[in-house]
Amino acid sequence: MRNGSYLFTSESVSEGHPDKVCDRVSDAIVDTFLSHDPYSRVAVETLSTTNRIVLAGEVRGPAEVTSDLIEQVARHAVKEIGYEQDGFHWQQMAVENFIHEQSVDIAQGVDAAGNKDEGAGDQGIMFGYACRETEELMPAPIYLSHNILRSLAEARHSGAEPGLLPDSKSQVTLEYVDGKPVRATSIVVSTQHSGDLEQDQVREIVRPHVVNVLPEGWMCAEEDFYVNPTGRFVIGGPDGDAGLTGRKIIVDTYGGAAPHGGGAFSGKDPTKVDRSAAYAARYLAKNVVAAELAEHCTIQLSYAIGVSKPLSVYVDSRGTAKVDEGKLATVLQEMMDLSPRGIREHLVLSRPIYARTAAYGHFGRAPDADGGFSWERTDLVDSLRSAFGA
């Protein structure tokens, strides 16, 4: 985003949104393969619709990950989200599995062999971004959008709000003055609910979850607070709208505040640079901003299928860098091996840590003790400061 005064909007969707159901199922399958063999290759897509899940994709992994186990994993993922509705129920839904073995042509280009290092699983461009708008070094609109829905989900799962159902969306518009967010000008929340709740009741259930998430004094005017604008949201989830893996890539990243290379994350093992290199780019950008070398940092990486090293590394601080950006790009490559293998080893990505990423964003999350969200660490700060005498 630019300097000056303007409005900027980002949206989020909950774990029960049809597309997020698919991301969760696909990532749960990735975790299952990696828990049996950390070198499994997985690229799994999910489609969801009324009482039906369809799985497709390519894998190479241990024989003990059977079709029956994959079906159990899919059902368990849907159960954890909370779907026990007539039109979409974890027990009643049909699960169709069309997953097959990975192409040998892809495998020979990606696998390490002889003097050849492991290559990228596909060509593509990946972006990472960080800024000083929040303590988590994330753009404020997407961060607040996620947290509103996370708060509602926690109330639903705990039983505090039994009238809430899994499918929901949020949208936050912030006013920026001199390039910094100062207040919300509008908030939109649409949440699936039980049929015995009226719109006014839903509005009052939602209100504290918005007010408590926003910084003090940021709440928008009452006429700009929209809750279930259609008036009723009982039929939802995959019964109301079909879902697909990878359709919420802007929700997954920076809410439109930074570029996106176009590749989805969910359903892919960490040899796929769509996922791992986007994590690496965020990791490096976050460390640059945390080291106070820039107020904003965008990093682009590019790859070719079968080639281990990135074709380019680009750094853009939007004019806020306190150091030379060209030198910064060089120093970052010296601090981290940006080959697929190097990224995977540096961030220790070959672990079953991905189902938890499927909702509420892949970035701006606290690193977990078991290595989840390792790309959110800021352990390069001291080295970066030292490299630039800061």
In this predicted structure, the answer to whether residue 321 has a pLDDT above a threshold of 70 is: yes
Mean pLDDT of the chain: 95
* Integer Cα distance of 292 and 378 in angstroms: 12
Identify which of 275, 349, 358 has the alpha carbon closest to the alpha carbon of residue 78. 358
Q: Report if residue 26 sits inside a domain.
A: no
Which residue among the candidates 8, 33, 225, 233 is catalytic per the annotation? 233
- Residues that constitute the known binding site: 17, 19, 45, 58, 102, 167-169, 232-233, 241, 247-248, 264, 268, 272
Q: Report if residue 187 sits inside a domain.
A: yes
Among 206, 235, 264, residue at a domain's last position: 235
Q: Report if residue 206 sits inside a domain.
A: yes
SS (H, E, C) 297-313: EEEEEEECECCCCCCEE
Q: Report if residue 93 sits inside a domain.
A: no
pLDDT tens-place string over residues 338-359: 999 999 999 999 999 999 999 9
Q: Report if residue 53 sits inside a domain.
A: no
CA 261 to chain centre: 14
Residue 51 tokens read as 């009482």
128 and 277 within one domain: yes
Which residue among the candidates 41, 60, 75, 169 is catalytic per the annotation? 169
Phi and psi, residue 47, nearest 5°: -120, 135
Which residue among the candidates 60, 268, 356, 362 is catalytic per the annotation? 268
Largest Cα separation within the chain, whole Å, is 67
The pLDDT of residue 77: 98
- Other C-beta atoms lying within 10 Å of the C-beta of residue 268: 27
307 and 223 within one domain: no
pTM for this predicted structure: 0.95
CATH code assigned at 230: 3.30.300.10
In this predicted structure, the answer to whether residue 4 has a pLDDT above a threshold of 90 is: no
The pLDDT of residue 48: 98
Which residue among the candidates 23, 122, 239, 274 is catalytic per the annotation? 274
What's the pLDDT band for 72 if we cut at 50, 70, 90? very high
Cβ-contact 369, 275 below 8 angstroms? no
* Integer Cα distance of 175 and 272 in angstroms: 37
pLDDT tens-place string over residues 98-146: 999 987 666 555 655 454 557 787 889 999 999 999 999 999 999 999 9
Residue percentage of the chain with pLDDT more than 70 = 96
- Residues that constitute the known binding site for ATP: 17, 167-169, 232-233, 241, 247-248, 264, 268
Q: Report if residue 317 sits inside a domain.
A: yes
Residue percentage of the chain with pLDDT more than 90 = 92
The pLDDT of residue 170: 98
pLDDT tens-place string over residues 207-266: 999 999 999 999 999 999 999 999 999 999 999 999 999 999 999 999 999 999 999 999
Tell me, yes or no, if 327 is annotated catalytic: no
Q: What contacts 263, CB < 8 A, 6 or more positions away?
A: 122, 124, 126, 249, 273, 274, 275, 278
- Other C-beta atoms lying within 10 Å of the C-beta of residue 3: 12
Among 219, 235, 251, residue at a domain's last position: 235
Q: What contacts 62, CB < 8 A, 6 or more positions away?
A: 33, 36, 37, 40
Cα-based distances in Å from 104 to 41, 51, 60, 342: 12, 34, 10, 23
The pLDDT of residue 115: 46
pLDDT tens-place string over residues 22-59: 999 999 999 999 999 999 999 999 999 999 999 999 99
Helix (H, G, I), strand (E, B) or coil at 43: strand
Which domain does 197 fall in, by range? Answer: 6-12+140-235
- 10 Å CB burial of residue 107 (0-12, 13-18, 19+) is middle
Among 180, 211, 235, residue at a domain's last position: 235
The pLDDT of residue 49: 98
* Integer Cα distance of 234 and 103 in angstroms: 43
**40 phi-psi bin (left φ>0, alpha ψ -120 to 50, beta other):** beta
Tell me, yes or no, if 20 is annotated catalytic: yes
